[in-house]
Amino acid sequence: MKLAVRTRGTRTRARLTAALAALVLAGLTATACAPQTSDTSSDSDEKTGTLRVWLFQEVGNEPKEKVVEDAVAAFEKEHDGASVEVEYIPVETRAQRIKAAFNDPKSAPDVIEYGNTDTAGYVKDGGLLDITEEFTGWREATDTDPTARQSVTVDGRVYGAPLFVGVRALYYRTDLFDDLGLDVPRTQAELIGTARKIRAAEPDLYGLAVGGAYTYGAMPFIWAHGGELAESEGAAGEGGSGAFSSAVDSPAARKGIEAYTSLFGDDNCPAAKCAGMTGNDTVTAFAAGKAGMAIGGDFSHAAVEAGKVKGKYAVVPLPGLKEGEIAPAFAGGNNIGVLRSTSHRTLAVDLMKRLASKETQGELFDAMGFLPTFTDVRADVAEQEPFVEPFVKTLDAGAKFVPASPAWAQIDASLVLPTMFQEVITGKKDVAAASGDAARKMNDAFRSAE
């Protein structure tokens, strides 16, 4: 009986194998099954019809909608037969939405807002339209600040117009500084010293709240020491030639890593808690009154105002190495771009200019507090609103940008830099070994993105 059963089992298996083989063969012969690739280019340039726009849905989006409505109304008045449909997409799912738009050009919008660290990646994906000629010919663009311009430039070509910039500076507790008789730090060494003094006097507080996963808070330390994240090889024009090699293991960058990671410890921000913190965590800690200082953005203003420390803090630019120097900050922000698949090229570019114009950016600042990307507009708003002054100072001192390489998205997503900081903080590796490993991973990514 056992034998019969066994034979039956073997035969069934043989039959099944044959069927599977047949199916796989059928699949292989049907070459239509190759993975999908879409064509995002477009030749037509219609002068009438509906333009579709995707903008980010911000927290408290209404004031932004009003500004956009006005800009759109003015645009429609100027262009007969053109209408505009604006859709606000949630920030959390923007990556999927925009990828989907690239994959399906038929249902894609004409104009999009996008984060400026995504520029190089979207260009490589073939999603964004090259508008170098239009941008160079645009009168207002001569006042665009160079860092913002760099954030829309890849390989010397321009792929959008900067909409606003976001930059970080040093938030500190005025009440605490008064009580302890502390001066506002003027150099990086003083900053670290002050942080320890606060912690020593108030053991329940972090001196300066830092996070092992707070890459944009750590970068100014590397830049202040003259280090770079990556060097462009054979620099050709603005934005480089496209080929990058990592520089996080250079002696200058290592000094910056050393300085930042020295802030993790029981004398400022205990490693067990701070090694895993992100930028948001540090700002939350500061807003809740759990830190003497923090590195926060102009965009963190609302969160801090809503916290316990309202009215008890002030902001100054993050100090550099020497007195009077400002540590270069990371210039975050958003751009407006035109999709390569648009069938309304001229109209879409005009609409982009309208949405990113000096007028709209000035109104957006009033409505949302977004810092303008034009140096003259920014100077104007700094006069009206003293709060933004330290941020404008930081930008004017020269902010920096991440490498304009499509590999950056990959380096960011695979947490190369947080891992490096955390390895040093936890003592798993020394600065030389951790930065060497990070440089190797970055170079792998740069090479594979070429």
Partner 1 sequence: MSHGMSPGVSVKRTSRRGHGGWTPWLYLAPALVVLAGLLVYPIYQLGLISFLEYTQAQVSGGEPTTFQGLGNYAELFGDTQFWQVLLATVVFAAACVVSTLAVGCALAVLLTRVRAVPRLALMLAALGAWATPAITGSTVWLFLFDPDFGPVNRVLGLGDHSWTYGRYSAFALVLLEVVWCSFPFVMVTVYAGIRAVPGEVLEAAALDGASQWRIWRSVLAPMLRPILVVVTIQSVIWDFKVFTQIYVMTNGGGIAGQNLVLNVYAYQKAFASSQYSLGSAIGVVMLLILLVITLGYLRLLRRQGEEL
Question: Which residues of this protein are in contact with partner 1, per CB under 8 A?
Answer: 1, 3-5, 7-8, 11, 19-20, 23-24, 27, 33-41, 99, 102-103, 121, 123-127, 212-213, 271-273, 275-276, 406, 409-410, 412-415, 418-419, 422-423, 425-426, 428
Which residues touch 426 (CB under 8 Å, ≥6 apart)? 271, 275
Beta carbon nearer to partner 1, 128 or 167: 128
CA angle, residues 96, 58, 400, in degrees to nearest 5: 80
Burial class (CB in 10 A: 0-12, 13-18, 19+), 420: buried
| Minimum distance of partner 1 from residue 154's CB (angstroms) | 12
Separation CA 291–CA 217 (nearest Å): 15
Classified as helix, coil or strand, 125 is coil
Nearest-approach distance from CB 208 to partner 1, in angstroms: 18
Q: By C-beta, is 74 or 271 nearer to partner 1?
A: 271
- Cα 126 from Cα 14, distance rounded (Å): 48
Q: Which is nearer to partner 1, 124 or 400 (CB)?
A: 124
**Please, what is the minimum distance in Å from the beta carbon of residue 323 to partner 1?**
35
Which lies closer to partner 1 via its Cβ, residue 263 or residue 395? 263
Q: Which is nearer to partner 1, 121 or 390 (CB)?
A: 121
Nearest to 126 by CA among 150, 156, 103: 103
Q: Min. distance of Cβ 144 from partner 1 in angstroms?
A: 26
366: nearest Cα among 350, 351, 388? 388
Provide the phi-psi class of 236: left if phi over 0, else alpha when psi is between -120 and 50, else beta. beta
| CB atoms closer than 10 angstroms to residue 287 | 23
Comparing CB distances to partner 1, the nearer of 389 and 437 is: 437
Least Cβ distance, residue 105 to partner 1 (angstroms): 8
CA dihedral 208, 209, 213, 214 (to 10 degrees): -70
Asked whether the beta carbons of 42 and 108 are under 8 A apart, the reply is no
CA–CA gap between residue 304 and residue 291 (Å, rounded): 12
- Could you tell me if 282 and 214 are in contact, meaning their C-beta atoms sit under 8 angstroms apart? yes
- Least Å from the CB of residue 114 to partner 1: 14
CB of 212 or CB of 319, closer to partner 1: 212
Residues with Cβ within 8 Å of 393's Cβ and at least 6 positions away in sequence, in order, are 317, 326
Cβ at position 331, least distance to partner 1 in Å: 22
28 versus 59: smaller Cβ distance to partner 1: 28
- Shortest distance, position 444 Cβ to partner 1, whole Å: 9
